[in-house]
Amino acid sequence: MTLGATASTPIESALTAQDTTPGAAVRDEARPIDRADPPATITDIKQAIQAGLLIDVTPAAQQLGITFPITITKPLWETGITAHQTITDEDTARRLRDVLMAFRLRLSSLVTVTPLLDFPALLAVPPGTIPQPISLVALIQPDKEHQATATLLLPNEVASTIIPMN
C-alpha cells in the first residue's frame, strides 16, 4: 500500500492519516525521530504499535477499570497527551488518565455501544495552555483475544479510518 491509497482496513488507513488540515498535529522539529518509516502494509494493531502509528495505553486503562485493550493514535498522543516538549511524565500520565476517564464515563452512559463513538475530553491543545472541551472519537472493534479493542483518535482522523461499504 502506498501513502494516499485507499486503505482496506482501519489499521491500514492509519498510514493515510498524514493530515494537512489546519490544526492537525505537526511534528515538533526539536523532537528526535525515534522510529523509522512505517512498513507499506499494516494488517493488525500489534504492527501499528510497532510502527509507531498507535500507542498502547492498555495498562493505564486497566487502572481505571477498562477491561479491553486501548490504543491512541500518534496524532492524538502528540497533540493532546504529550502536547509540549517540556511536559513532565506526571503531566503526561494525568492527561492520559483524563482522556481515558472521559472515554470510560461516555461508555458507562450508553445502553448500546456503537463501533464509532464520540466523547468530550478536557485538553489543553497547543498553542493554548488552558484545558478546553475537545471532541474525540473511539473506534471500537471486535478482537480475537478480547471482547473488543478501542482506538482513540482525533475527529479529523476519522475520515481516513472509516471505509465506505459500497
pLDDT tens for each residue of 128-137: 788 899 999 9
Residue 46 is predicted with a pLDDT of 87
pLDDT at 145: 83
What percent of the chain stands above pLDDT 90? 45
Q: Residues 115-142: what's their mean pLDDT?
A: 90
The domain ranges of the chain are 10-27+38-161
Digit-coded pLDDT (tens) for 44-99:
888 889 999 999 999 999 999 999 999 999 999 999 999 877 788 999 999 999 99
- Give the list of residues 6+ apart from residue 93 with CB closer than 8 angstroms, or none: 60
If you average pLDDT over residues 104-108, what whole number do you get?
94
pTM of the model: 0.71
Given a cut of 50, is residue 139 above it in pLDDT?
yes
Average pLDDT for residues 146-161, to the nearest whole number?
85
pLDDT for position 130: 87
What is the C-alpha separation between 42 and 37, in angstroms, rounded?
12
Higher pLDDT, 61 or 19: 61
| Long-range CB pairs of 121-125, under 8 A, 24+ apart, other chains included | 121/80, 122/98, 123/80, 123/83, 123/95, 123/98, 123/99, 124/83, 125/79, 125/80, 125/83
